């Protein structure tokens, strides 16, 4: 699904509040001096490869979107740098809309890492009203989306909407669904290369360099627990181990070794792609070949589509790979 929505004007590439959206009238920014989306591209604040953030358009429609099972969307973001002007900023594919449980978990992780306190400090630096941050009525969740950086495509800085472009009539922070994306301008990195920043990354005492090679998002941990509860009904608990040689879950039986790799993406094709290489390495990279029969299981949250099933069948039959897929939902999705 294609959507377009407005974000407040920002001069730091949406890494921190800048107090620059002076063209705002009757908005959260005009009343409180900042917008919740002003940390959208704080690239050093990632959790297991996921960028969490906030879109006001999603905030307004999130309950109805989730009720209608709209959980993934391609979204074009535009800003209003001055009255009567609309500038295309970026396009993000495969944005995931967080449910209440995910939003709470993500914010808890931000607080744990010190990022939430840093956000409050940066609100103070632009003389914003920190008491309105995460307001229970206007913005009950500080974070309401997540995405991967490889899905971010930037527009050139001077990409302004021209006469006749319907975006010129969009004034509110609404999440507008479109039937087609053919009328959008072309992005710089249409080939889906890694997104570049327009300003240097912010380095502060709350940024943790390095980090664990197996850092997990809150969603990942919950799926892992749900998978464990399912496997306990199928295998002896003593045969199930976690994080051995970095494998999410390994099951050892007398006849076979089963490797499970969890991907929390709602895009099933992406989950298969991300899991496939890791599973092959877990099973076959080492000099000593496994003695038991091997099964490689990608674990994701969504059902396989017809195209996914065709792809999986081709891999298993054409290359004789013991590769399969298992759906395990988050507890909030069951």
Q: Give me the pLDDT at residue 246, please.
A: 86
Q: Give me the pLDDT at residue 190, please.
A: 55
Q: Give me the pLDDT at residue 185, please.
A: 87
Instruction: List the one residue out of 46, 52, 54, 4 whose CA is nearest residue 29.
Output: 54
From CA 94, how far away is CA 117, in angstroms rounded? 29
Q: Give me the pLDDT at residue 203, please.
A: 37
Q: Enumerate residues 6+ apart whose C-beta is below 8 A from 112.
A: none
**H, E, C per residue of the chain:** CEEEEECCCCCCCCCCCCCCCCCCCCCHHHHHCCCHHHHCCCCCCEECCEEEECCHHHHHHHHHHHHCCCCEEEEEEEECCCCCCCEEEEEEEEEEECCHHHHHHHHHHHHHHCHHHHHHHHHHHCCCCHHHCCCCCCCCCCCCEEECHHHEEECCCCCECCCCCHHHHCCCCCCEEECCCCCCCCCCCCCCCCCCCCCCCCCCCCCCCCCCCCCCCHHHHHHHHHHHHHHHHHCCHHHEEECHHHCCEEEECCCEEEEEEECCCCCHHHHHHHHHHHHHHHHHCCCCCCCCEEEEEEEECCCCCHHHHHHHHHHHHHCCCCEEEEECCCHHHC
Tokens representing 307 are 């195209």
pLDDT one-digit tens code per residue, 232-257: 999 988 899 998 888 999 999 999 99
Half-sphere exposure of 7 (CA within 13 A, CB side): 26
Whether the CB-CB separation of 238 and 277 falls below 8 Å is answered with no
Q: Top-level CATH class of 218-333?
A: alpha beta
Whether the CB-CB separation of 275 and 298 falls below 8 Å is answered with yes
221 φ, ψ (degrees, to nearest 5): -65, -40
Q: Give me the pLDDT at residue 137, please.
A: 86
Which residue bears the tokens 């010129």? 168
pLDDT one-digit tens code per residue, 256-306: 999 999 999 999 999 999 999 999 999 888 777 777 899 999 999 999 999
Per-residue pLDDT of the chain in tens (334 residues, 90 and over written 9): 799 999 999 999 999 999 998 878 889 999 999 999 999 999 999 999 999 999 999 998 999 999 898 999 999 999 999 988 999 999 999 999 999 999 999 999 999 999 999 999 999 999 999 999 998 888 899 999 999 999 999 999 899 999 989 999 998 899 999 988 878 888 986 544 444 343 344 434 333 333 334 568 899 999 999 999 999 999 988 899 998 888 999 999 999 999 999 999 999 999 999 999 999 999 888 777 777 899 999 999 999 999 999 999 998 999 999 999 999 999 888 7
Q: Give me the pLDDT at residue 189, please.
A: 64
Instruction: List the one residue out of 252, 275, 255 whose CA is nearest residue 328.
Output: 275
Sequence spans of domains, the chain: 2-178, 218-333
pTM value? 0.81
Whether the CB-CB separation of 57 and 174 falls below 8 Å is answered with yes
């Amino acid at each position: 699904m294609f959507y377009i929505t407005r974000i407040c004007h920002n001069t730091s590439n949406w890494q921190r509040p800048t107090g620059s959206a002076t063209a705002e009238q009757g908005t959260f920014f005009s009343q409180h001096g900042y917008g919740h989306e002003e940390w959208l591209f704080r690239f050093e604040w990632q959790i297991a490869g996921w960028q969490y953030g906030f879109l006001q358009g999603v905030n307004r429609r999130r309950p109805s979107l989730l009720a209608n099972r709209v959980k993934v969307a391609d979204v074009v973001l535009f800003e209003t740098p001055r009255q009567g002007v609309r500038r295309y900023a970026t396009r993000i594919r495969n944005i995931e809309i967080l449910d209440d449980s995910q939003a709470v978990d993500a914010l808890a992780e931000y607080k744990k890492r010190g990022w939430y306190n840093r956000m409050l400090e940066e609100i103070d630096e632009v003389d914003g009203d920190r008491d309105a941050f995460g307001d229970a009525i206007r913005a009950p969740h500080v974070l309401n989306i997540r995405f991967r950086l490889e899905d971010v495509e930037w527009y050139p800085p001077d990409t302004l909407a021209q006469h006749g472009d319907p975006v010129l009539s969009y004034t509110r922070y609404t999440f507008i669904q479109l039937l087609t994306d053919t009328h959008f301008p072309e992005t710089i990195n249409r080939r889906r290369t890694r997104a570049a920043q327009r300003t240097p990354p912010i380095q502060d005492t709350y940024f943790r360099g390095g980090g664990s090679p197996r850092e997990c998002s809150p969603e990942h941990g919950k799926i892992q627990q749900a998978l464990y509860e399912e496997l306990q009904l199928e295998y002896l608990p003593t045969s199930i181990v976690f994080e051995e040689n970095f494998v999410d879950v390994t099951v050892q039986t007398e006849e076979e070794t089963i490797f499970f790799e969890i991907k929390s993406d709602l895009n099933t094709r992406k989950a298969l792609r991300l899991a496939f290489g890791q599973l092959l390495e877990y099973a076959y990279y080492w000099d000593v070949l496994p003695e038991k029969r091997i099964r490689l299981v990608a674990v994701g949250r969504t059902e396989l589509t017809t195209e996914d099933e065709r792809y999986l069948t081709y891999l298993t039959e054409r290359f004789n790979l013991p590769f399969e897929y298992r759906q395990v939902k988050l507890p909030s999705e069951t």
